[in-house]
Each structure stands twice: as structure tokens, then as C-alpha cells.
Chains A and B, each alone.
Chain A
Amino acid sequence: MSISGSMSSALSGLNAAARSAELISSNIANALTDGYGRRELQVTARRVGASGQGVQVVGVSRELNQALLADRRLASANAANMNLQADFLARLSVALGGPEDAGSLSGRFATFDTTLIAASADPQSNARQTNVVEAARALTTSFRAVSKEIQAARSEADGQIATQVATVNSALVAIAELNRNITASSAIGRDSSALLDQRQQLIDQVATIIPVREIRAENGRIALYSAGGTALLDGQPAKLAFSHVGIIAPDMTIGSGALSGVTINGRAINTGANGTIAGGTLAANFAIRDELAPDAQVELDATARDLISRFQDSAIDPTLAPGDAGLFTDGSAAFLTANEEGIAARLGLNGAVDPNAGGAVWRIRDGIGAVTPGPVGQTALLSSMQSVLNEARLTASGALFGSSRGALSLAANVVTGVANERLLRETEAGFAAARATALQSLELAGGVDTDRELQDLLLVEQAYAANAKVIQTADDMIQILLGM
């Protein structure tokens, strides 16, 4: 009977309108939720057998601009990568100090130079000799502090790598599980939008650490490959492995085997700038640990070596026997060129001039190896120390290897070199961040528009009322029939 048919049609219309209102309310509620894809109800005319009968809800579609999402992921990974590297250089630059700052490495060199001049002007002044010793001590402390800062940054990077590897592992397991759930629910035609939202958030989490490429398969399944081409999730999640080291010394490198690289499913991968995981924060941490920080350490070591070598010379101080330590020491011993690696961390002051270690400050004037104080008026050693500090010498190692420079200029070069690189990286990081922000706002522009949702809600309300009216009319018609 056709009246019951119209009632059934109207009922399906009521259902569809109610579902639609539910989705609109969910959209409005999640207008500010990150990673929420706007939902829309997909309806079609219902066909039962050969005849049409009302409306049918076929599913819920989740709107998403796949290309924009992929772009945004790569851009934010890149921005995070740049940011981390710029942060390290900023930290290093702060530890070294600015060229104009008295407390900076180059400032300490200048102070040491000044105190030497002052002491040679008045060689009998015990106070001025003490100033020289204290300035030398400050210089060694400065070297050691910067070196410690560099190694601390490496240690932190190592720790962060361990955390990030654990995060990626657990996120991949969760994504694999969500993949299964999404497949199961889309296979039987259920709405899997909430699961898709969750999965997108998890992929975003992985994507900042390792930039990923998402490959879609049937039934809503996805596979994840790193931008460098390694499978992170293909049915089964990949297992990343990394062993964390507690404390890192300058001589510990990935090449020496003391530090760990990352393995994916037991296969070692290239962690460098053009490796398979390049582009994200994981690669940035590897860059800090294995490239930026060791490079800075090499420069610092070269400067420290240059400083030690200038004073460890019997031509300057005749009281020194060959093989004896000069004013500056490696730990408490003489410096050997073979031990250059990490010298900045061990740079010390000779105990013979250090009152704290039982020495006497007059040895600055009379020679490190002098047994008794000499004539109080002699200035030969003090002035030759001052001149050797400023003498242009061939640099034995580091980036300025082979160029002829004074110790002060070498130190200033380290400081300005780091400052320049920091500026460069910060500019790059600024560009990357601007790009990521632009893409992010484009992505948000495609999200929930509450005005539009409310407009849709009005239409849904009208549709609901119209369907209810049809039911009422059909009821009236049956009443008329029964009233005959």
C-alpha cells in the first residue's frame, strides 16, 4: 500500500536528517581540534528491489587534502630539523661568548695578554704575577667549559635520539593497530573517521621525527615509507633500534664504535644528511651528535693545541727540559701532538705556577722549572711569553690548518666562525618555519567552517520538519480512510 511506502520514505528522511545533524554537531564541537577532518554525510536514493523508497545513508566521508597534508608534513619536519640545529649553534655561541664580551673565549685571551704586559712592566709585583696566573686559569676554565658544553649537547642529542626512536616505535605499532581497525570497520561499512583522525595525529608525530611518505592501499590501509625510501610500516611496523650512551667524551664517535647508529629491522642505515631518515628531528640530533658538535670540538682542540704549543718550548722558557710541560698542560702532563683529540677538555695550568696546587707565582717571571726565585727585575721571560702569544705561527690543525696566525686571532676566529654559522642556520630555520606555518594555515583553511556548518544545520532542520510533516499527512490520510 502506497501510504505505508510514503511513511517508510519519510522515516528514512528523518533518519538521514538526524545523522546529518549528529555529524554537523561533531564538526562544530571539533572546530578547534588538531588533525580533525571535516565529516560529511553521503546519502543516495534508496532502491529496494526495482523501486525507489526514500533515502539511504551510504557513509561518512572525511574531507582531506592529501597533497597539502604531505607537503605540510615535510615542511614541518624540515622546520623542526633546522630549528634544532640552529638551537645547538645558539647554545654553542652563548658558551663561547661574543667577541666584545670580556668573559668570552677571545675576551679571556685578551685579558691574559694584558696581564702579561702589565707583569712585564713591573716584574717585581707579586700581585701582577698573580693576575697573570689567574688570567691563565680563567682561560683554561673557559676552554674546559666550552668543551663540556659541546659534549653535553652531544649527550643530550644521544638521549633525545633514544627517546625519539622509542616514540617512533610505539607510534608505528599504534598506527599498525589503527590500520587493522580501520580496515575492519570500513570492510563492513562503518564510519572510521575517528580512527582516521587518530591515525593522522600519530603519523604527524612520526613525520616530525622522520619525514614520511604515505602510500594508500585498499580498505583505508596505508603503508609508511621514510622520505629516503625505507619501509617504516608495510603491514607490520618496522622495529627501530638504538643504544643510548650515558656520557659522551670527545673521542667517542660513531666511527670508533662507541656511539650507536639506528637500525631498522636489524639493518643499519645511513644517518647522515642524505641518508634514509634525513630531514626530521632525528636526523638533526644525529647531525648535532656526529657532525656539528664534533666539528666545533675539533676547532676548539686546534686552538687549545696552538695555545699549549706556544708555551711548551725551551726557547721561550730555558728552564724547561725537552718533554716538560709549559705554562699550559694536558691534564697535569706535557702535551703530545698524538693526544690532540679532546685536549680542550683537559687543558690545565701548570702546578708549578699555581699557588692552589703548591706552586709559586714568581715562576711566571723566572721560569717554570726554576728552583729558587731569581732577580726580581728580570722581564725576559714575561715579555717573550707576551710576544709568543701574539706571534703569527702556522696553525697545526683544524679548519685554519696551514695559515699563519696569532693565538688571539685564532680564538677570535673560532668565536666569529660559530657566530656566523649560527646566523646562517637561523636564517634558514626562519625560512623553513615560515613555509611550515604557511602550509599549516592553508590546511586549517580547509577545516571546519562553523558558519557553513550552522547554515547546513538550518537546512537539516527544515528537511527534518518536512519529513515529519509527511508522516503526519500520511496518518491523516489513514484516519480519513477509517472514518469512511
Chain B
Amino acid sequence: MTISSSLNAGVAGLNANATRLATISDNIANSGTYGYKRANADFQSMVITQSQGAGAYSAGGVRATSTRMIDERGALVGTSNALDIAVSGRGMLPVTSAVGLKDGFASGSMMMTTTGSFRPDSNGTLRTESGLVLLGWPANADGTIPVLPRDTVSGLKPVTINANQQAGDPTTAMKLGVNLPATSTVAGAAGNTLPLSVEYFGNLGTSEALDISFAPTVPGTGSSNEWTMIIKDSAQAGAVIGEYTLTFDNTRGAGGTLLSVATVSGGAYSATEGQLGLVVAGGPLTMTIGRLGDPNGLTQLSDSFAPTSITKNGSPVGSLTAVEVDENGYINATYDTGFTRRLYQIPMVDVPNLNGLVALNNQTYKISPNSGSFFLWDAGDGPTGAVVGYAREGSTTDVAAELTALIQTQRAYSSNAKVIQTVDEMLQETTNIKR
């Protein structure tokens, strides 16, 4: 009977709108939850009368389905914690639960999230308050990331940062800018050898010194503009690692710059680079003394011996002071001596169908047959976006839209209730025909 189908349709309408109300209330409740993805209730009509032009119509009613819009992205919100991580674009962070960690992080327990506020726990493992542990590929000692399979989680390890670790950074390059006194190579000069000691850092972070001495050649008449530079390494008990004869230009315009460098012993001088290829105890060390005619390296002007610029890389052993994540997903440690080292890489997990992921507690998602299999990308590569530190992804809930939907739902609900009431009254009429 047509009239009872109307009653059924009205009840179905009430049910469907109750479902929508549930999604709206959940969305509004989570409007301040970082990483929350909005749930959406969709209505589908059901049809009972299929033939065209049939005399009677039976209402099929409505059915509600709910989906979570995982591919929608919330606005990123800046924070003050370096390890508040979000993703700008597609892709998710691999995480596991603290429970999964106890099992030794077996394959398959990987979950995904779009944002998290990670802090080291008592073991140094980065985890959120809700117990999610960040996963990443550990870097080698020299900061490179090994080649690991990208379609399984086998290479991923919980990110653990030891706050008390120390690291050194050996010196491999040095630039020497020194002015030698031109008056010392004039006939009758005293011919004193000028000493210079420059510190460098060995492979074990120890402080060593290159003892450089400049001995002028004093001619019988005129000026020689010639010096002998001897470099000794303190790490090799003062052994001579290089001896060079330096001649300086005395022509107008180029006066005081290097004219020629003759290697007596030790690493050769490269005229194109202006570098000496020294070998110190720990390995090769390039010392830049300037190209021929270069006014920025070794010069011989006037009467003063003056180191003008001596720069070098490397640093002494330092303690960890800060950990930050960069946009490529590398977790870098900064040491108090000023150098940084790469500790982990956080890959971006991507699946073909984001909305097919299974939503779990704590804004995490799991692979499902609907989502397709995952692939681990370098952040920023392929379809994935960059990793952003000092940021959280806000909830995708738009409170204004939800409140509008709430008004609509309320109206729809009362309309459905009105239908039921009307059907009831009509049935009453029918019943009242027979007194």
C-alpha cells in the first residue's frame, strides 16, 4: 500500500538525517583536533516502483552512507616545537603504535598520519602523547641514506635520538690569507723566519696544528720577493708535509700577488684552483693560498706580517643541542660546535586511493584493500609534498559549513517527522470511515 511506503520513507529519512547529525556532531567536536579529517554523510535514494507510468508509486525511502574525506587537507598551523611535523601536500608520515614497538615493530603494523607532535620519550624514541612512534630510515655515519626497498616497511626503524651523543667534524679545507712583509726580502734585511700556527681538527675531533713558517730569501742586492714556506703537522710529531718556494710579483697593478709557486716537497700546487693538496695525519687537506695574481690569498706588501683571513671547515667534538626536520624529511642534529649531521630520513607514504584507507583512533590510517598498496617516497618527490617542521595540520572541519548543514539537517528531520505525523493522521481518517 502506497501510504505505508510513505511511512517507511519518513522513518528512513529520520534515520538518514540522524546519521548526518552524527557526522556533523563528530566534525564539530573535532574541529580543534590536529590532523582530523572530516566525515561526510551521503544520502542515496532507494527506488521500489521501477516501471514507467505505473498507476501507484511506492516510496523507496533514503539510505545514508558515511565516508571520511582523507584526501582533504587542513590548513597548516605554525607551532614552536621543531618536531611538530606536518605534510604540505599529498603523502603521510609512517608511524607505529607504542604497542607495535614492543613487538619489535613487525611488518604490517605500520600506520599513517598526516601530522604529529613528536617528543623524545625516556628511551629517546620520538613519539606523540597518544603513543604514536615516528618511523624513518637511519642514516649512515657519514650522513648518507642507504638504498632500501620502498614498497615494504623492512628498512624503517623507530626514530631514536640520543640526547647525550657527541660527534666531531674533521677539517678538510683551509684558506690562508696572509700578508708577508716585502721589506724582509730586500738586500740587508734581517731575514727572520716568520712563524704562523693554524689549528685544525683531526678525524677523532682532536685539536691539531699546522705550523707554517715563512723564510725570506735575502739577496746580495735589490730584492728577491721570494719566500720559502714550510708546513709541519703537529699530529705527525712536527714532520714536514709541504715545502714551497713562493715568488711574488713586483709589477705595477699586480704588485704583491703570487707570481709563481714551486713545490719543493709535499702535495702539488694547483694553479687553476690556487690550492695545495696537503696530506695531514688523518687524510687529505686542501689549503687555498690563492691563484697566481689573486689579491685575496698570500700577498707580499709593505712591511707588516699580518694574517688577514684564515678560514677552515671542521669543528671540535660537540654535544647535541637541537634536532630539526627539513622539507626533504631529513632529521638533522645540530651540535653546539655549529655543525649539523643527518640522522634519519622520514619517507612519505602514499597510496593510490587515500579515501580507501581505514581510519583508526588518533587520526591514523591503515592500508586496506580499497586503498591499494603503499610506496615510500622521498618527501617532495613524485606526488608527495614537503615535510614541514614547526607546524601541525589543522582539522578539515569548517564550523560554518557544519552549522549550516546542522540547520538543514534539523529542517529535514522535522520535515520527515511531519510526513510520519501526516501519514498517521491520514490512516486515522481511514480508520474513522467505519464508525
| Residues of chain A having any CB pair with chain B under 8 Å | 1-2, 4-5, 8, 12, 46, 48-51, 53-54, 56, 180, 183-184, 186-189, 213, 215, 217-219, 221, 223, 225, 227-231, 234-236, 265, 267, 276, 478, 481-482, 484
Contact = CB atoms under 8 A, between A and B. Distances in A.
B427 interface: no
B77 A53 contact: yes
B78 A12 contact: yes
A358 B316 CA distance: 77
A225 B307 contact: yes
Given A49-B89, A481-B399, A213 B306 contact: yes
B321 A184 contact: yes
B306 A54 contact: no
Contacts of B397: 1
Given A48-B388, A49-B386, A484-B403, A187 B307 contact: no
Interface residues of B, number: 49
Given A49-B76, A53-B78, A235-B316, A186 B338 contact: yes
A123 to B, nearest CB: 62
Given A1-B394, A49-B386, 14 more contacts: A1-B31, A1-B75, A1-B400, A12-B78, A184-B318, A187-B336, A187-B339, A215-B308, A229-B196, A229-B305, A235-B207, A236-B199, A276-B305, A484-B407
Q: Which of A49, A215, A276 has the most CB of B within 10 A?
A: A49
B289 interface: no
Q: Which 8 A-B pairs have the closest CB atoms?
A: A49-B88, A184-B336, A219-B338, A229-B305, A235-B199, A48-B76, A188-B322, A49-B76
Contact of B78 (A50, A54, A183): A54
B104 to A, nearest CB: 34
B195 interface: yes
Contacts of A218: 311, 338
B335 interface: yes
Nearest to A235: B199
Contacts of B338: 183-184, 186-187, 218-219, 221
* Chain B at the A interface: SS class: strand
A199 to B, nearest CB: 16
Contacts of B77: 4-5, 8, 48, 53
Interface string B84-101: 001011000000000000
Nearest to B82: A188
B337 A180 contact: yes
Given A49-B86, A184-B321, A188-B321, A234 B310 contact: yes
Given A48-B77, A228-B305, A236 B403 contact: no
Contacts of A234: 197-199, 310
B163 to A, nearest CB: 13
B306 A187 contact: no
B168 interface: no
Contacts of A236: 199, 207
A223 B200 CA distance: 13
B408 interface: no
B394 A265 contact: no
Contact of B76 (A12, A53, A188, A229): A53
Contacts of B126: none
B321 A265 contact: no
A219 B339 CA distance: 9
